[in-house]
Amino acid sequence: MPIQTSFAKAVDRLSRSWLLSNKEKEFLPKAVGDVLSAFSKAASKQQVQEVDDISTDAAACLIRASLLKRGTVVTARKQTGNAILSNLLSIAFKVEAADTGQGTAIDNDPFPNTKGLYTSQVTTLVNMAIGDEDHAIAVYDAMLKALDPDDPNRGVLEELKFDEQVHERVLLRMLGNELPVLETPLTLGEAESEYESSYKKLEERGDFYSSFTDLVNMAIGDERHAIATYSAILQMLDPVDLNTPAIDKIKSDEKDHEKKLLRMLGEKTPAPVEM
């Protein structure tokens, strides 16, 4: 079935489905645009072949993948049963961040806690980690202000900034704060090396007077400091603690961020971790 017809039928089916909220139904046209854009981008990079026709079921699966949060994308990918579409989903949606509401208030936090590298409470390190996240958010915001609107790394940096905002909320919930779930944006893109371009030129970059590579290196430093802090928190938490999976996920995110930033400097790094 022609791809446009398949998506039109899929939208009609999903708009009548009780599985979607009213808000998701309103977002359907944009979701279709996101998926078609992902097709075009992936095909232009020769990551998938050109696709002229797909089934209505596959189109609906792709649309739902753009609507739903990160954890459901894997299920959607398996349902397609199509290698091309599976590859597209992996490329298009692996960078999607989501605030899942994680972060359970810490009840038992004795002082001193000598299981880790530090003689301190877990909450002390959580507050330190919040400082890391706040600093990273500010640096990514400055980087975004410094980039041209069509810079290939803008989408990647939007994703990283959003991740840090999610991490901050998870940590604040651990300290007993009640916070609403942050809306999930759909971001597409992979870090590209622009090291030989104007990235090295010294000029006003966002809120700083620097070269763009200075900001990238500052962000890398933030990520490495955060990785060390989350490693210490994991050593201090009981393996069965409700916050252990959340901290482990945040640490994995930070390691993924470091790789993407290094790619902007032209470094050859392994493929980003796909959770």
How does pLDDT run along the chain (275 residues), one tens digit per residue?
Answer: 677 788 888 888 888 766 667 777 777 888 788 777 777 766 665 555 566 667 787 777 777 777 753 333 333 333 334 444 444 544 444 434 578 888 999 988 878 777 778 888 899 999 999 999 999 999 999 998 888 877 888 888 988 999 999 999 999 999 999 998 887 665 556 778 876 777 888 888 878 888 999 999 999 999 999 999 999 999 888 888 889 999 999 999 999 999 999 999 988 887 654 43
Strand partners, 113: 120
Strand partners, 2: 53
In the chain, the DSSP E strands lie at 203-205, 208-210
How far is residue 172's CA from residue 179's CA, in Å, rounded to a whole number?
A: 8
Please give the model's pTM, rounded to 2 decimal places: 0.65
How far is residue 99's CA from residue 274's CA, in Å, rounded to a whole number?
A: 16
The tokens 């939208």 sit on which residue? Answer: 11
Domains and CATH numbers, the chain: 3-93 (no CATH), 122-264 (1.20.1260.10)
Let me know: does 66 contact 93? Beta carbons within 8 Å: yes
Mapped onto helix, strand or coil, the DSSP state of residue 274 is coil
